[in-house]
């Protein structure tokens, strides 16, 4: 919620500007044109604050993962700078672990259901795999809901565009017919005056008929015009609300897509079903091997020894390197791991920057509302304060 602080410190009372209404995709940072309506004003500010809060939450969630990846990169630098003798001891332990893990993999490869590369990938993420499957499945389900909402909003948008167009046409037609009717009445009255004064004809009934017909016609046109104008005003309000809802849903869709892209890359799968199938195959193969228990016990001893050595060397997260022994043995693999971590950190940075941008944009949007309508700036500031508490 740090984005909310000092939101109104730079809002000037003399800075006024017209808010321009745009198309659907251009409404993200514009100021609504009808903030004189108290309900619309409150809804606009609260919706902007809601998007700021959601973006801020996403930033906080991403920072933990970003810090973890950065910590791994720092640990890699420390390992590279270890004294030669200590590095040899760590390499021996890593070699023992690699040999024991290779024996475990050989047991699994007997069935031929998994490649050695895929087994290594799952081994490195073994502890987090069930939770990863759950998160991906939830994110995929959420994506379906968001896409459904976007399609529904698109359909409603087209419907309201058509209704707004029809209302505007009705208003223009009523105005045009009224002008024609008034002109016809004037022409008829002039004709009756000519008949009366030039030919001394009694045109009293003519005046009455013209005035009566004209009054009925103009009254009907006025009622039709008023109904269409009232309907247009209501439709414009609904359209604005749909735009803000669509923007909120679209931000959620982008966040969900980026999250799934990162999770797919991290777990090496294209869907939760694929990842779950790999995980089930992996666990069933592992459980089918009795010898695996013996190998695992020996591995635990080497894991603990390697972890202790790395802890003594100042490595912050030594447990991870028990799953990255190949990188400890092969400098080229260490480079590959570093590149993979840098790529993951870049994706996280992009997601953090995107959400920071959303929060800043919504903060600017609220500021712009207060600048464009300085008479409501105190009310807008109070809404922000209430939302923070």
What is the DSSP code (8-state) at residue 181? H
Give dist(CA 6, CA 317) in Å, integer. Answer: 38
Residue-level pLDDT at 1: 42
Residue-level pLDDT at 374: 80
DSSP H stretches of helix in the chain? 38-80, 84-109, 116-124, 129-199, 204-267, 272-287, 291-312, 325-329, 331-372, 377-388
Residue-level pLDDT at 277: 87
Residue-level pLDDT at 11: 33
Average pLDDT of adjacent 10-residue blocks, the chain of 389 residues: 37 33 41 66 78 82 84 86 87 90 76 74 86 91 90 82 79 78 80 75 75 77 75 76 82 89 89 88 69 82 90 85 86 88 89 85 80 76 72
Give dist(CA 32, CA 41) in Å, integer. Answer: 9
Residue-level pLDDT at 30: 55
Fold of 114-270: Helix Hairpins (1.10.287)
Domain assignments of the chain as residue spans, ordered by start: 114-270
Residue-level pLDDT at 17: 36
Residue-level pLDDT at 13: 34
**∠ at Cα 269 (266, 271), nearest 5°?**
115
Residue-level pLDDT at 138: 92
Residue-level pLDDT at 141: 92
Residue position matching structure tokens 């993951």: 344
Residue-level pLDDT at 217: 77
- Let me know: does 18 contact 372? Beta carbons within 8 Å: yes
- Let me know: does 174 contact 221? Beta carbons within 8 Å: yes
Residue-level pLDDT at 3: 36
List CB contacts of 101: < 8 A, sequence separation 6 or more.
123, 299, 325
Give dist(CA 143, CA 256) in Å, integer. Answer: 7
What is the DSSP code (8-state) at residue 290? S
- Let me know: does 319 contact 307? Beta carbons within 8 Å: yes
Give dist(CA 186, CA 136) in Å, integer. Answer: 75
């Amino acid at each position: 919620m740090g984005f909310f602080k000092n939101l109104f410190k730079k809002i000037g009372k003399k800075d006024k500007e017209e808010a321009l209404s745009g198309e659907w995709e251009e409404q993200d940072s514009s100021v609504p044109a009808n903030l004189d309506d108290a309900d619309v004003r409150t809804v606009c500010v609260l919706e902007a604050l809601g998007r700021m809060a959601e973006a801020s939450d996403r930033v906080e969630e991403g920072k933990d993962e970003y810090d973890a990846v950065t910590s791994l990169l720092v640990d890699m630098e420390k390992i590279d700078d270890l004294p030669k003798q200590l590095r040899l001891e760590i390499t021996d332990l890593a070699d023992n672990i690699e040999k024991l893990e290779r024996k475990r993999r050989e047991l699994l490869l007997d069935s031929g259901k998994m490649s050695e590369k895929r087994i290594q990938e799952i081994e490195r993420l073994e502890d987090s795999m069930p939770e990863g499957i759950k998160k991906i499945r939830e994110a995929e389900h959420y994506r379906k809901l968001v896409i459904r909402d976007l399609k529904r909003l698109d359909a409603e948008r087209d419907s309201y565009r058509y209704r707004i167009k029809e209302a505007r046409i009705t208003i223009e037609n009523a105005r045009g017919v009224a002008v024609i009717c008034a002109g016809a009445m004037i022409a008829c009255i002039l004709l009756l005056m000519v008949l009366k004064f030039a030919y001394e004809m009694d045109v009293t009934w003519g005046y009455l008929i013209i005035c009566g017909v004209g009054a009925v016609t103009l009254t009907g046109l006025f009622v039709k015009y008023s109904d269409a104008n009232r309907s247009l005003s209501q439709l414009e309000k609904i359209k604005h609300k749909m735009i803000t809802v669509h923007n909120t849903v679209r931000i959620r869709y982008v966040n969900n897509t980026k999250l799934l892209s990162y999770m797919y890359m991290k777990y090496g799968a294209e869907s939760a079903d694929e990842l779950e199938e790999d995980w089930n195959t992996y666990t069933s193969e592992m459980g089918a091997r009795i010898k695996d228990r013996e190998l695992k016990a020996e591995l635990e001893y080497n894991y603990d020894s390697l972890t202790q050595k790395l802890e003594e060397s100042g490595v912050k997260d030594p447990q991870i390197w028990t799953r990255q022994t190949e990188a400890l043995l092969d400098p080229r693999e260490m480079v590959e791991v570093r590149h993979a971590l840098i790529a993951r950190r870049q994706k996280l940075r992009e997601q953090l920057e995107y959400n920071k941008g959303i929060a800043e944009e919504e903060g600017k949007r609220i500021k712009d509302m207060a600048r464009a309508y300085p008479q409501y700036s105190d009310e807008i500031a109070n809404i922000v304060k209430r939302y923070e508490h």
